[in-house]
Structure formats: structure tokens, C-alpha cells
């Protein structure tokens, strides 16, 4: 019984008490379909203590905002003024933080600190006709929001939509702000980033909830590998005199020999004694660890090389999965980030004191165009150029294109150099990626 109790105390990994009824084994006792709801503190602790979790949360948010965007409009001065104001607001950093919060806690927010021509309360809708300035924006997480107050009037055009967010406005010292601890903030005064919401739930689902089991396995694999490395090589000492020693003598002998055999290369032992070195068998460990990484990669829809921190934006010929990842980021930019950016720019245009007067956003032709996310390495660049040149030769030979048309396409204003800095929305991206990948595989077969 004492040995069992001792094992219970000494084990600190998930296997503690396995088969004995002690502790809670997250793997052996798991049941498919049983949802684990993580508290904000549990989510924070997971993020704070696991570097891989940090990568999963932060890297896509960084990739979405890393190269920012170009604002296309005819009025160059107005365009430069808008981009300058966004820089003053530190919009790039704030939108990145909001997306990180959304991935971690399920909801990310950006508060809109504005000045209006008449007094207002935070519960009042933001009236663009009275907007003077956008003074600041702040990113914060769903931890600050206590309630989502929905419109439940089925005869309202906004039925089912969030009208107010009950925001906790306590200061760091716990003091009340403006005499209140909570404010009902109208939804129009916030930018809300939310991408995973289950039906009949109004808060977003934290990404880590669905990843909890695989993160547990990953954490356990790290602990197991550490134990294997620690015990990879160990010495075995055999002697007939051991049987006559009491527990204290064995303990003291073990301490002395452990110290000596770790610090001295020479062991002096008796004629009837034996000292051998044993190593841990690690056959099959790589396959098990690869399975863990493959499962995690599929669960978060990020290639292993990206999760592990590959150099941002660099693609090699064999990384078709990385190209797919960046294409997915482009889709997230267009579908999720772009509407929020457009809303902020519209508020700037409506502001009377910001850009030289009120400008109706609908009276202008303007567009947000995200800058390219990635480029290929020099080797892959050369392979793509070779494929393009061969394709052009076929077109010219068969009369599909003229030499002048090819020259303009490849070396004109938008030459081949720009063509290779894909943003992810080129029609032939998938075809070119496959051709380069197949060429890379064929070259590997031929040595």
C-alpha cells in the first residue's frame, strides 16, 4: 500500500493514478462528444505555459496583418491621409491583437473612441452625422464583456442581433470608472471579431476547446521525451554484497556511485562485481510523435512548418501545404478582416475634423487590396520562371500569343517579378504550385 501511495505522490503527469482510481486521467477517461468548456483562466494558463499554443493563436493573426494593405483610390492625398491616420491609431497592431483574442477566447473587440458634435452615452448608437474625430481605438477580449444583450423583438429588422455589450470598465486597481462598474455599450461603438459561434450560443467558441485533447497528448509527449532523454543511458551495478546492505547503506552507495559515475570516466570495482551501461530503446517513437504533429496540424489547419515557426512568407517548391495555408489566410483577410477595416475607414471619412471635412464614403471609388503574403525562395523562383518560359514558347509557336504580348506580360509594368509574389488569389496559383511540386519530386527520384 505504501508503494502505491508513493507512486501517487511522485507522478506529476497525466498518468497519475492510472488504473487505481486516483486523479483524473484526461485520456483514459475521455468520452467522444463530451464537450469540455474552458474558463477564461484555463485558456489564459494554457496560452501562458505552452509555446506551441502561443504559435497556434498568434501566427495566423500576425500573418493576416503582417504585410497590411494598399488603399486604392484616385485621390492620392486623401489616400495618404487615411493611411497616416490608421498608422497614428496603430490600427495594424490593434487588429492583430483583436484576432489573437478571438482565437484564444472566442471573441475579440476593438473599442471606437470618438468625439461627436453633441453629448452622448456609450449606450447611444454611433451617429455618423455627428461624428467629428476618431481619437483612439483599443483591442480587448471577450473577458471584458459580461453579457451579450440581443434584440429579441421578432418584429424588429435587427431581431437576433446583439444590440448592446455589457462591458466591465473597472480599472486595474478595481476602482470604478465614471461611477459605474459596467456599461451597456451599443454594438455600433465596437468592432466585434467573431468567427466560431455555435447555433443558439452568442459567445464565440475558443479555439482551444476543440484542441484540448490533442494539446494534452502533445504536452504528455513532451514530458515522455524528456524522461526518455533523461534516462536514455544509465549504468547497472551488480554485486553479491548488495543483499547484505540495509536500506540506508544502499541509499548512500547509490548516491556515491551516481556522483562518481557521472563525474569520473574510470570505475574501480571488485573482481566479482559488474558494471554495464544500458540504453533506452526508442524504436517507433518518431512515428508516434509524427502522428501527434499530424493530428495537431490538421486540427488547427496549419502546416507543421508554420506551427513550428518557419520564416514568415517564404515558400519552397515542396511546400504546397504552406501555399494552401497562405491562401486560407487570404480568404480570412477578405471575408473577416476587410469588412472591419472598411468600417473604420468609413468612420474616418464621415468625421468632420479628420480629413478636411465630411466625405460620403459612397461618393468615392475606393478599395482595400491586401499586400502579398509570401514569396518563393530563389530555387523555386527559378523553376517557376523556367516553366513560364516553356509555356510562353508553346504559346508563341502555336500562334496563341505574339512575341510582343509575351514581352509585355513578362517584362512590362507588371512583369514576372511581381507575378511571383502571390497574394493567394491568382487563378493559376494551384496549377503552378502543382507543377513546381511535381517537378521537385521528379528531380528527387532522378537524383
> DSSP for 375-444?
EE-HHHHHHHHHHHHHHHHHHHHTTSS-HHHHHHHHHSTT-HHHHTS--S--TTHHHHHHHHHHHHHHHH
- Chain centroid offset of residue 200 CA: 26
Cell numbers placing 66: 503582417
Running DSSP on this structure, what letter comes out for residue 58? Answer: H
Q: What is the C-alpha R_g of the chain? A: 31
Closest to 420 (Cα-Cα) out of 446, 443, 389, 399: 389
Which pLDDT belongs to residue 417? 45
CB 123 within 8 A of CB 208: no
d(CA 397, CA 390): 11
Which pLDDT belongs to residue 436? 54
d(CA 156, CA 153): 5
190-193: strand order across its sheet: 131-141, 108-116, 190-193
Which pLDDT belongs to residue 29? 63
Which pLDDT belongs to residue 341? 97
Which pLDDT belongs to residue 4? 45
Residue 23 Rama label (left phi>0; alpha psi -120 to 50; beta)? left
State which H helix or E strand residue 98 sits in: helix 91-105
CB-count burial class (<10 Å; 0-12, 13-18, 19+) for 360: exposed
Provide the greatest CA pair distance for the chain.
98
Cell numbers placing 23: 486523479
Running DSSP on this structure, what letter comes out for residue 334? Answer: I
Per-residue pLDDT 10s for the chain (447 aa) are 444 444 444 444 444 444 444 455 655 666 677 788 899 999 999 999 999 999 999 999 999 999 999 999 999 999 999 999 999 999 999 999 999 999 999 999 999 999 999 999 999 999 999 999 999 999 999 999 999 988 888 898 888 888 999 998 766 555 555 445 568 999 999 999 999 988 888 899 999 999 998 998 888 888 888 877 777 766 777 777 777 788 888 888 778 777 776 666 666 666 677 767 777 777 778 888 888 889 999 999 999 888 987 666 666 655 677 878 888 999 999 999 999 999 999 999 999 999 889 999 999 999 999 998 876 666 666 766 777 788 888 888 888 878 887 777 666 543 444 444 444 444 455 555 555 556 555 655 555
Q: Which residues lie across from 112 on neighbouring strands?
A: 137
Which pLDDT belongs to residue 376? 64
Cβ density class 114-134: b for 16+ within 10 Å, e for less: bebeeebebeeebebeebbbb
Closest to 233 (Cα-Cα) out of 194, 192, 281: 281
Helices (H), 231-319: 247-263, 285-300, 304-307
Which pLDDT belongs to residue 15? 47
d(CA 278, CA 220): 24
- Phi, psi of 4, deg, nearest 5: -65, -45
Running DSSP on this structure, what letter comes out for residue 248? Answer: H
Interstrand relation of 375-376 and 162-168 (parallel, antiparallel or unpaired): unpaired
DSSP percent split of the chain into helix, strand, coil, nearest 5: 50, 15, 35
- Name 135's Cβ contacts closer than 8 Å, sequence gap at least 6: 113, 114, 115
Amino acid at each position: 500500500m505504501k508503494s502505491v501511495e508513493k507512486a501517487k505522490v511522485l507522478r506529476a503527469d497525466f498518468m497519475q493514478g492510472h488504473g487505481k482510481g486516483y486523479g483524473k486521467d484526461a485520456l483514459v477517461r475521455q468520452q467522444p462528444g463530451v464537450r469540455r468548456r474552458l474558463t477564461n483562466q484555463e485558456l489564459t494558463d494554457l496560452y501562458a505555459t505552452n509555446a506551441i499554443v502561443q504559435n497556434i493563436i498568434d501566427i495566423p493573426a500576425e500573418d493576416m496583418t503582417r504585410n497590411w494593405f494598399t488603399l486604392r483610390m484616385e485621390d492620392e492625398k486623401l489616400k495618404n491621409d487615411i493611411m497616416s491616420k490608421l498608422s497614428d491609431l496603430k490600427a495594424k497592431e490593434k487588429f492583430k491583437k483583436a484576432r489573437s483574442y478571438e482565437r484564444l477566447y472566442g471573441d475579440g473587440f476593438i473599442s471606437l473612441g470618438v468625439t461627436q458634435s453633441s453629448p452622448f452615452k456609450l449606450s447611444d448608437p454611433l451617429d455618423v452625422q455627428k461624428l467629428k474625430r476618431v481619437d483612439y481605438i483599443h483591442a480587448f477580449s471577450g473577458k471584458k464583456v459580461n453579457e451579450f444583450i440581443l434584440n429579441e423583438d421578432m418584429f424588429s429588422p435587427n431581431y437576433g442581433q446583439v444590440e448592446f455589450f455589457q462591458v466591465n470598465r473597472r480599472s486595474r486597481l478595481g476602482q470604478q470608472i465614471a461611477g459605474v462598474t459596467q456599461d451597456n455599450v451599443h454594438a455600433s461603438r465596437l468592432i466585434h471579431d467573431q468567427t466560431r459561434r455555435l447555433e443558439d450560443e452568442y459567445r464565440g467558441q475558443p479555439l482551444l476547446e476543440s484542441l484540448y485533447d490533442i494539446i494534452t497528448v502533445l504536452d504528455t509527449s513532451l514530458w515522455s521525451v524528456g524522461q526518455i532523454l533523461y534516462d536514455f543511458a544509465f549504468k547497472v551495478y551488480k554485486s553479491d554484497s548488495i543483499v547484505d546492505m540495509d536500506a540506508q547503506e544502499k541509499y548512500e552507495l547509490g548516491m556515491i556511485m551516481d556522483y562518481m559515475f557521472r563525474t569520473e570516466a574510470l570505475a574501480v570495482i571488485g573482481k566479482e562485481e559488474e558494471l554495464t551501461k544500458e540504453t533506452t530503446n526508442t524504436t517507433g517513437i518518431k512515428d508516434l510523435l509524427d502522428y501527434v504533429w499530424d493530428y495537431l496540424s490538421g486540427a488547427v489547419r496549419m502546416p507543421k512548418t508554420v506551427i513550428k515557426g518557419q520564416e514568415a512568407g517564404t515558400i519552397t517548391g515542396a511546400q504546397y501545404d504552406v501555399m494552401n495555408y497562405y491562401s486560407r489566410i487570404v480568404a480570412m483577410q477578405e471575408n473577416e478582416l476587410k469588412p472591419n477595416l472598411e468600417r473604420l475607414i468609413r468612420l474616418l471619412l464621415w468625421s468632420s475634423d479628420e480629413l478636411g471635412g465630411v466625405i460620403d464614403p459612397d461618393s468615392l471609388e475606393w478599395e482595400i487590396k491586401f499586400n502579398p503574403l509570401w514569396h518563393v525562395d530563389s530555387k523555386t523562383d527559378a523553376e517557376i520562371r523556367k516553366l513560364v518560359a516553356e509555356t510562353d514558347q508553346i504559346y508563341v509557336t502555336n500562334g496563341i500569343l505574339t512575341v510582343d504580348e509575351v514581352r509585355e506580360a513578362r517584362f512590362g509594368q507588371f512583369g514576372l517579378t511581381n507575378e511571383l509574389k502571390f497574394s493567394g488569389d491568382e487563378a493559376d496559383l494551384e496549377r503552378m504550385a502543382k507543377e513546381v511540386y511535381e517537378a521537385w519530386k521528379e528531380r528527387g527520384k532522378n537524383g
